[in-house]
Amino acid sequence: MIGPTGAVRVMVATSAVDFRKGAEGLAALVRETMIADPFSGAVYVFRAKRADRVKLIYWDGTGLCLFAKRLEDGTFRWPNVQDGVLRLTAAQLSALLEGLDWKRVHTARETPPPLQAS
């Protein structure tokens, strides 16, 4: 995927937005409704009324990037929360963008090293 890699903060606006908005309009929504800085390097995710479209904005250090995706079949799995902000991991974001159930993605569990060789 073109875009941020590694440890990135992902903030999801849980209510639908007007999808006629471009990068600047979505950045204004980040400031006004999510009370966050759109130029912080975090990824901000927005959905359309129909859950088959999603837009992301993020600051890459040189400019504000806009990513849009429309599923040809099916819908994105979206949280039940109507208003507010939800945080996802990078792995959960990848699952969301693939149209998978991102709630089934969990962080890796810490495995303690063995005490002795076997």
Instruction: Tell me the per-residue pLDDT of 18-61, one tens digit each, with 9 for 90 and over.
Output: 999 999 999 999 999 889 999 999 999 998 888 889 999 999 88
CA distance 106 to 62: 32
Other Cβ atoms within 10 Å of 67 Cβ, number: 17
Evaluate if residue 81 carries a pLDDT over 70: no
Domain boundaries, the chain: 10-104
Other Cβ atoms within 10 Å of 86 Cβ, number: 14
Q: What percent of the chain has pLDDT over 90?
A: 34
CA distance 39 to 10: 13
User: Pairing relation of β-strands 43-47 and 10-13?
Assistant: parallel
Q: What distance separates the 2 farthest-apart alpha carbons in the chain? A: 61
Residue 55: what residue type?
A: K
Q: The pTM is what?
A: 0.76
Evaluate if residue 1 carries a pLDDT over 50: no
C-alpha distances in Å from residue 63, one per residue of 4, 24, 58, 80: 13, 11, 8, 32
Question: For 1-118, where are the alpha helices, taking DSSP H only?
Answer: 23-32, 90-97
For position 88, what pLDDT does the model report? 78
